[in-house]
Structure 1
Amino acid sequence: MDKLLKKLNAAQREAVYHQRGPLLILAGAGSGKTTTMATRIAYLVAKHRIRGENILGLSFTRKAAGELKERVEKMIAETSGPEFAKGLTLSTFHALCVRILRARASEIGYSPDFTILDEKDQGDIVKSILRQMKLDDRKFDADLIKFEIGQAKNRFYSPDQARDFFLESGRLPEDYAIAAANVYEHYQERLAALNAFDFDDLLFQAVRLLEKSDAAREFYNRKFQYILVDEYQDTNPSQFRLLRLLTESHDNICVVGDDDQSIYAWRGADPTHILEFGKHYPGARTITLDQNYRSTSTILDAANEVITKNRKRHPKRLWSENGQGEPITNLIVEEDRAEAETVAEEILRRRENPDHPRRWQDFAVLYRSNPQSRLFEEALRMRKIPYKIVGTLSYLDRREVKDTLSYWRVIQNPKDDASFRRICNWPARGFGKTTLEAINTSALANGTSLFEACEEAVKDDPNGENLSAAKSPGLSPKAVAAVRAFIELIRGMRADLDSTPLDRSALSDWGKRTLAKIRVKETLLEEEKDDPALAERRWENALELANALGQVDIEGARAETAEYADLASGAKAALRASAGDLTTVGVLSKFLQAMTLDPNEDDDEDDTPKDEVTLLTLHGSKGLEFPVVFMVGAEEGYLPHQRTIDGTGPEAALGFDEERRLAYVGITRAKTHLVISRAKFRVRYGKKVPRLPSRFLEDIPKSLLLVQDESEAPEPTTAEAKEAHEAKVKDFMASLRSRLQGTP
């Protein structure tokens, strides 16, 4: 253990030594927080003999949880022995909530085999409710309403409470807010009927369950005697409430975070959780990690000057022993296209510098909004510079992957209507829209799932006579045959799964057999008959799922199943029986759960680093670092965003604080060199629109900047920029009124 401790600085060691009581670790950017957290857990095990099963570590993404788990297990193996890591829970908030809900979902009216809906399934349900309520989808946007429902859940507002929240938030017009509240109520009813949760429900319903069940709450308080939370500044009210419930009988909670990097208020994150930690947990100790191991002093000095302008924050100032480094380049160009061209040329120049050659992967281009990437893509492509865009279509969003997962979901849980709808006619089998509508009508009339309605529709009497005409009017003989074929396909694959040995290789083979039975490869070849190479890539995507199924953590699933049985010991016998033994269906359920969680995480199927320039948003850059960073579009309207500039009242002031934190995050991604660029004009619909430099750029001392002005045009005045913006708003409002009135 001493060997590990010697690698830490004094503040990090203090954080590790702290044993009991609440602890806030203020970890500035690049200050080694993951190493500190991992060492703290290893120290609890080695020095205080805390059992692994009594420690809970929570992160926001699978990647972060996986990295922490890997480090902790290695440290524990070195200091105590690998067996001492047994039972350690290092997971995301949502994965923990799934474990809680699987164990006792029946207490809030759900079955433990519930389905977790993805983004598309949620959107489809909202759209169907809008149609049912006869609300004009040209006026009421389903994606916006879905987002607002998620916001309400993150703040732990029920449908009854959400109406006031929607009205008071000011984000929606009154009629929109009322419509959103009504849709929310119907949406929850629909989810309950489907025995399904959406992503935000996992937190919402787990908190609801723990608040209701004394036994469940007491169980988890006994189990998790030491809790560590990463990125605490990003917690929303539901997550905060969950942590309070898990520490009801003790206060051994250690939270790690940085209020200066709280940039997710739009997703429900509340920075007051970290700012007022001592108020929520009296007697809390605070330890600040302010030594930065990533950046040069010049970069940190700039970041410090920007962030100190915020009003409410824990005082801290990052410092480094990495040397002063180069000045920050302030690149000024005339137009947006010139900005992209100049950045691309600068990347080429720096990569080919004989004194300090770089790899493509050393460079990152950070922007405020995704549409800004287009010109940079063009400039890089023209110069044959390899690049990747983070945050575009992920592996799990590819159709062949979503369709295969939907098949497996229906195999695991035939009552999953959302997945059923997606795959009942993929590949095409004559189970079209008319047939689905007839089945849906039958399901609604009889209160069953779509799968059960199909079973009823093709059921034969004892004499073998088909009864579908009476049970599902409107189904033709051809449709009945298609429905029967689909039902038999699902039943056959489920029977195959039930008889498959509980073994990784056998599970992978089962996955490959399902792909063959569904005829995935043949279907993709037909869909992409003009591009066989694309068909092959899509087939490889589907095949990768079967390979991934063979990597599932069977022992982890077995431990969770034992936990469910333990927690269910006071519940009804049926639940105890279902929780007792691990089956192949249970392993598939765990795999599908992992595939559904963290929908916002970048799920690139190939984690091998590639030598290419990275393009990503400022939000997406959090937690990453690059030797050379280009922070582009440093202008009013981008950073801070125009929405914040146009806002009024206290909310607008809080918005500026968050925009400043976003600028701080961007600056602190750079290790050795930072270029902050801006254009004096941006071309919009063929017109040059004047732009002003970002107020955050103005906060950086001139002594830290090397100005590189590539433009001969004079700087636009504030009056010119204001006039251009007002004209743009006027044109937009006229266009919006025209669209709502249905005029061309």
Structure 2
Amino acid sequence: MNLNASQKKAVFNSTGNVLIKASPGTGKTRTLVARASHKIDSLPKHKSIALITYTNTGADEISSRLEINKNMFIGTIHSFCLEFILRPFSWKYNWARPKVISYELQELFFIENEDIKLDENFGQNKFEELNKIAHKIDGSLNLDVDWNHSKTLQEVSQRYYLFQQTHGVIDFNEILYRSLKLISEQKFIAQSLAAKFYEILVDEFQDTNLYQYSILKELMLNGECSFFMVGDDKQRIFSFAGAIEDSFGNAISDFNATEESLTETYRSTNCIVETYKKLFNNHPSIENESIISNLDIDVIFHETKKVNHEGTIKWFVDELTKKHDVLPEEMAILSTSWYTGFPVSKILRKDYNVVGLGALPHKYINNSTSTLLKSLSRYSIKPNIRNLRSIKRNIDIYLLDNDIAYSEKLLALKTNNLITKFGELNFDEDVIAGLHHIEKLFKNFTGISDSLFEIIRELIPNDEKDYWSLSKYIQAISGVNGIFSDTIHKSKGLEFDAVILNGVNENKIPYQKLIDRSSWTYADLTSEDIENGRNLLYVGLSRAKKYLIILHNWKPSLFIEIIK
């Protein structure tokens, strides 16, 4: 693997606990993969390494670049906690073996508690609202959340926790709470894990929340395991999900970490790099070594009209594909929210393959079943080693979430059978019949019924069922060979030849909460709001390699004048 000087220094010469600051396009993932390979090659006997990612998509990307090794864990902090803390040690507090709550059970919660309405206000998603229910580290209910519902947070949380207990499941917040409680109160657990792992590598460190940070800190305090933490504080965009302030500064102090920086970027034209650098007065110095750095393509700023907003985006897409030969899979439309992004996807999918938000004829349900279906679909379209590894990793997560264990020999047999049978499906049949057959494959694989497929069939509108074949559905859910249309938050770690930023407007970037809809009164902007908006726009701008088109209405974001 070719590395530049700053990457080599980080990979081979950094000792102890290390923080790597990586601006866009500087090879963050390449550096992580190289460091993991280097540590595996020099791994002492009976030791392992762990590579903790922010999302399953990130874990898939890194897994695809590394050889499978039984001494290496790659996954999210939730998967790490399930596998190494909760499953082995829940007995210490007489907790049942943890099973992750499913989308179906969350739906059942609302059915059984029909007086709880968490989507009664404009723009609310009941599942996202439910995810606000969490314990503080001291075990009390976290009341420091934005809760605007007829039922109090205390009442809803009491019923939700009782529901989880009744069904023998826990949610992602509870996974972290219980894991931290175990390793902080039962020191032998932290000591055994710190002894097991030679090094723990952490991706997207800037978005680490308090629980994740505290779990890592407990491991650091109880052994000699080293930490290699990579991220970019300018790309901290998940503060609403609990990302702590100044994670880098805290880690330098708490972990006694040394700081290194990746200083060469390889992604974008000079014009695009200079555009996103303007957002920060103290942007670190980076050298643009991209082979397209000198392409003379201006960044486009365009004011759209409400009456034909989606039509304007469609016009730009047609121009990029027909006049500039940009492939659909090398193009992204990034929106500030699902509310502004969904209509765009709906318009585009009539003429183009679309992946991401609005690509499917129903709301996407994000759980381990749908993730496994997505990886199987991707492999059926692009059968390569990278996608095969993604299937195997997502099978592990699927079994872990459902508390199912197979012997290594039986797992290999069942995995090969699932992949083979999936490839033998009749992709020309209609989507409803096809989903029935996929449901049977999953049941044969685990021996249990998965109600997700029935839910999906019910969610597909009747007027969509007639022209959705299984092939079209597999193409859409695979996430390949189509225009990426989603929120800026979902684009972290991705890059595209062309990016259209949709809705860079006042009240959207930075985000301002609507207080009174009748008078369109918004909350005052805070310094935190401005910082979050700056970081979000920075992420969106820096996804582009060649073409960058920024759309706004008659009231553009305050950042437009800064970057013009």
TM over 0.5: yes
1:278 to 243, 252, 270: 252
Give 1:302 shift.
Answer: 0.7
How far apart in 1 are the matches of 2:418 and 2:43?
42
| Partner residue, 1:534 | 431
Give 1:320 shift.
Answer: 1.1
TM-score of the aligned structures, taking structure 2 as reference length: 0.76
| Partner residue, 1:662 | 536
Change in CA separation of 1:333 and 1:659 when aligned onto 2, cut-off 3 Å: closer
Which structure has the greater CA radius of gyration? 1
| Partner residue, 1:172 | 147
Change in CA separation of 1:212 and 1:195 when aligned onto 2, cut-off 3 Å: farther
Give 1:44 shift.
Answer: 2.3
Q: How does 1:570-589 map to 2 (within 5 A)?
A: none
2:325 to 357, 365, 377: 357
How far apart in 2 are the matches of 1:398 and 1:247?
32
Q: How does 1:701-712 map to 2 (within 5 A)?
A: 701=564
- Structure 2 contact 53–59 (Cα < 8 Å) conserved: yes
Q: How does 1:195-234 map to 2 (within 5 A)?
A: 195-234=168-207
Q: Structure 1: which 4+ aligned runs deviate by more than 4 Å? A: 135-141, 143-149, 173-176, 391-396, 506-513, 604-610
Q: Which segments of 5 or more consecutive residues in structure 1 lack a partner in the other structure?
A: 75-84, 310-314, 406-496, 514-520, 522-530, 550-583, 593-603, 681-691, 702-744
| Partner residue, 1:37 | 32
| Partner residue, 1:434 | none
The C-alpha deviation readout for 1:42-73, integer Å capped at 9, x for no partner, is 22233x44358421111122332233234232
- Structure 2 contact 329–482 (Cα < 8 Å) conserved: yes
How far apart in 1 are the matches of 2:251 and 2:366?
41
- Structure 1 contact 261–661 (Cα < 8 Å) conserved: yes
The residue type paired with residue 669 of structure 1 is R
Give 1:264 shift.
Answer: 0.9
- Structure 2 contact 202–230 (Cα < 8 Å) conserved: yes
| Partner residue, 2:546 | 672
2:522 to 641, 646, 657: 646
**Structure richer in helix, relative to its length:** 1
Structure 1 position 388 matched with structure 2 position 345: no
Secondary structure in structure 2 of the residue aligned to 1:538: helix
| Partner residue, 2:458 | none
| Partner residue, 1:372 | 340
Give 1:655 shift.
Answer: 1.6
Give 1:123 shift.
Answer: 4.9
Structure 1 position 121 matched with structure 2 position 108: no
Give 1:543 shift.
Answer: 4.3
How far apart in 2 are the matches of 1:52 and 1:643?
52
TM-score of the aligned structures, taking structure 1 as reference length: 0.59
How far apart in 1 are the matches of 2:296 and 2:509?
24
Secondary structure in structure 2 of the residue aligned to 1:306: coil
2:410 to 502, 516, 524: 502
- Structure 2 contact 147–153 (Cα < 8 Å) conserved: no
- Structure 1 contact 93–239 (Cα < 8 Å) conserved: yes
Give 1:648 shift.
Answer: 4.3
Structure 1 position 194 matched with structure 2 position 167: yes
The C-alpha deviation readout for 1:706-728, integer Å capped at 9, x for no partner, is xxxxxxxxxxxxxxxxxxxxxxx
How far apart in 2 are the matches of 1:287 and 1:234?
18
What's the RMSD between the two structures over aligned residues?
4.0
Secondary structure in structure 2 of the residue aligned to 1:366: strand
Between the aligned residues of both structures, percent identity stands at: 23
Structure 1 position 62 matched with structure 2 position 53: no
How far apart in 2 are the matches of 1:343 and 1:139?
31
Change in CA separation of 1:297 and 1:510 when aligned onto 2, cut-off 3 Å: closer
How far apart in 2 are the matches of 1:532 and 1:55?
45
Structure 1 position 262 matched with structure 2 position 262: no
- Structure 1 contact 509–546 (Cα < 8 Å) conserved: no
Change in CA separation of 1:277 and 1:361 when aligned onto 2, cut-off 3 Å: same
Change in CA separation of 1:19 and 1:55 when aligned onto 2, cut-off 3 Å: farther
Secondary structure in structure 1 of the residue aligned to 2:134: helix
The C-alpha deviation readout for 1:231-270, integer Å capped at 9, x for no partner, is 1111111111111122122361110011111111111122
Change in CA separation of 1:107 and 1:361 when aligned onto 2, cut-off 3 Å: same
Q: How does 1:137-156 map to 2 (within 5 A)?
A: 147=128, 150-151=131-132, 153=134, 156=137
Q: Which segments of 5 or more consecutive residues in structure 2 lack a partner in the other structure?
A: 374-404, 452-472, 515-520
- Structure 1 contact 155–237 (Cα < 8 Å) conserved: no
Secondary structure in structure 2 of the residue aligned to 1:196: coil
| Partner residue, 1:696 | 559
| Partner residue, 1:320 | 288
2:306 to 301, 326, 336: 336
